[in-house]
Structure formats: structure tokens, C-alpha cells
Amino acid sequence: MTERPETEVPRRILVALEGDEGAAALLEAVASLAAGLHAELVGLFVEDIALLDAAGLPVARFLPSHAQAHAALDAAMMQRALRISASKAGAALAAAAESRRVKWSFRVVRGTMQDLVLAEVQTHDLLALGASGRAVRRARHAVATRVVAQQAPCSVLLLSTARADERPVTVLYDGSQRALVTGERLARIYGRPLLVVALGESDEAAQALETRACDWIEQQGARGQVRRRAVSEAEEICEALRAQHPGVLVVDPEGELVRRFGLESLLGELRCSVLVLR
């Protein structure tokens, strides 16, 4: 049997939270991963300083999603709301981790998401972030998320709240061996099928990648499907990946294709969970 290529196995996973909405699903997914990797889970709840500043303004108002009218907003009220959110997120983390017997810790910090996470992640092997589907969050935080994803020294798992069910762990394969290895391991941990999408700039290139992926899967004695497609622009990559309905997409930013078209263009268009490798 061929020896598996060496990849670093994460031992400490940092999960960054900034609200309780969707936190439970996010934490369940990360806790499963941590259990599969026998890794420690570190929760970090960020009280966004921007929200506190906004609440302190004399023009501050808030409009609940299901309310008829605006209401006055002040800093104290915002602090209480953030404290409640943090408390819920901490409880969700504890429940998810303890049910899987995963070692865990949880802290609440105040500042900006981007700065705090980038500072904290230096001592971790994997960063897990929620990638909200809400437009407003996406608009404001997507930038921060993408910055973090690109600047973080470790791998980053951007977890979507979109339903994944039994959808496959999908590998964007443009020649990156790391992506293949990590994808296969992730599929085993989550108990989901492995799907390798071999993308080349020409049919020949895609076919060659497909052959290599098939060979590798066979050598590993693993189970998985390989599909190929020739792409010539970022939108085509996104379209090819969306068509496969990935559950988790494994992307290597050092891969040839991703480097050419840019990681940010992918992250901005895909709604599924994405594991960005380092």
C-alpha cells in the first residue's frame, strides 16, 4: 500500500463566534471535526466594538426584523445583548464539545473580528469561522472573513449555515496533493462521500488531473468519485463547483488554478462551507 502524503494534523482548533444565531449548527460541525481529529476546541466570542460604538451614538436606533417600528438603542442595552449572545454561544460550545468528549475552552473578547482573530489564531492549527448567508453580515463581514482567510497562518474552515445533509466533501483539484489528502480525511471524519472536481484550463489538462486523482484514490484504497471540467475563468470554476452541491469544499490557495483566479473570487461566490488550506 502506498504511504499517504504527510499533512499536518490540526491539534488546536479556534472557532470564532460573533453572535448566537447559527452558532449551534456551526459548533456541531466543528466539534465533529475536532472529535475526528482528536483536537482541542477553543471558542472565541468577539464583542464587536463597532456595535458598541454605534449603540452609543445619539442617532442610534434599531429595527428588529419582526417589529413594526424603530426603537431607541444605547450602549448599555447593546452590552447586555452581546453578553446574552456570548452566554448562549458558550453554552452551545460546551454542549457540542462535551457530547463528543472534546477538550474545550471559551473566552469573550472585545474589539474587531479581524484584528482579534488574526492575533489569536497564531497559536492554533485551524481556524473555524461562520460564513453567514445573510446579506448584511456577508457584506460587512465577508471582507473581514476573506481577509482573515487569506492572512491567517493556519488553515481556515468557513462554515456555512446552508443545509449540507449528506452532501459530499468536495475537493477543488487543480493539482494540489494536499487538497486531495485533506479532502479524503475530512470525508472519513464526517462519514460523507468524497467528490473530487478536477478543473483544468483545457480538456486535456482536466483529463490528466482526473486520471491522477483516480489513481491516487485507488492507491489509497479510498472511495470517491472524480469529475472533470475545463474552465477558463473564475465564474466557470464557481459554476462547476456549485453544480456538484458540495457539503464542504476543500481549497488549496497555493493550487495553480486558485492562484491564477484568486481565492477571494471563489469565497465571494460560494455559499457552501469551505476549508482553505495552509
Partner 1 sequence: MDEFKPLTVDSLCWRCAPEQFTFKSTEDLEDLAEVIGQERAVEAIRFGIGMRRTGYNIYSLGPEGIGKHTVTRKYLEEQAKEEPLPLDWCYVSNFAEPRKPRVLQLNAGRGAVFQADMARFVEDVRHALRSAFESEEYRTRRQVLEEEFKERQEHALEAIEEDAKAHGITLLRTPVGFAFAPVSGGKVISPEVFERLPKEDRERIEADIDELQKRLHRVLHEAPRWVKELRDKIRELSEETAMFAVGHLIQDLRHRYGDLAEILSFLDDVQQDVVRNVETLAGVQEKPGSQGASAGSDDGHPILRRYLVNLLVDNSSLKHAPIVYEDDPNFDRLRGRIEHRAEMGALLTDLHMIRSGALHRANGGYLIVDARKVLTRPMAWEGLKQALLIREIRIEPLAHALGLFTTVTLEPEPIPLDVKVVLVGDRMIYYLLAELDPEFSRLFKVAADFDERIDRNDENNLFYARLVATLVRKEELKAFDSGAVARVLEHSARHAGDSEKLSTHIEKLADVLREADYWAGKQGRGMVGAGDVQRAVDSQIHRLDRVRELIQEEIRRGTIVIDTDGATMGQINGLSVMQLGGSAFGRPSRITARVRLGRGEVVDIEREVELGGPLHSKGVLILAGYLSAQYASDHPLSLSASLVFEQSYGGVEGDSASSAELYALLSAISEVPIKQCFAVTGSVNQHGEVQAIGGVNEKIEGFFDLCAARGLSGEHGVLIPDTNVKHLMLHSRVVDAVREGKFHIYPVKRIDQGIEILTGVPAGARGPDGRFPEGTVNQKVEAKLVELARRRRAFGRAAEREDGE
Residue 111 β-bridge partners: 48
- Based on the shown chain and the rule CB under 8 A, indicate whether residue 63 belongs to the binding site for partner 1: yes
Which residue number, 44 or 179, has a Cβ lying nearer to partner 1? 44
Which residue number, 1 or 136, has a Cβ lying nearer to partner 1? 136
> For residues 251 and 253, what is the distance between their CA atoms, to the nearest angstrom?
6
Which residue number, 164 or 250, has a Cβ lying nearer to partner 1? 164
Which residue number, 134 or 259, has a Cβ lying nearer to partner 1? 134
Site string for partner 1, 197-226 (x = CB under 8 A): ------------------------------
How many C-beta neighbours within 10 Å does residue 167 have? 19
Cα maximum dimension of the chain:
69
> For residues 229 and 199, what is the distance between their CA atoms, to the nearest angstrom?
5
CB proximity list for 68: less than 8 A, separation 6 or greater: none
Closest among 216, 197, 259 to 234, alpha carbons compared: 259
CB of 146 to partner 1, least distance (A): 15
* Residue from 81, 108, 214, 238 binding partner 1 (CB under 8 A): 81
Site string for partner 1, 111-140 (x = CB under 8 A): ----------------------xxxxxxxx
- Based on the shown chain and the rule CB under 8 A, indicate whether residue 245 belongs to the binding site for partner 1: yes
> For residues 141 and 138, what is the distance between their CA atoms, to the nearest angstrom?
5
Closest among 101, 107, 258 to 171, alpha carbons compared: 258
Interacting residue ranges for partner 1, rule: CB under 8 A: 19-20, 50-51, 53-67, 69-71, 73, 75, 77-78, 81-82, 84-85, 133-140, 245
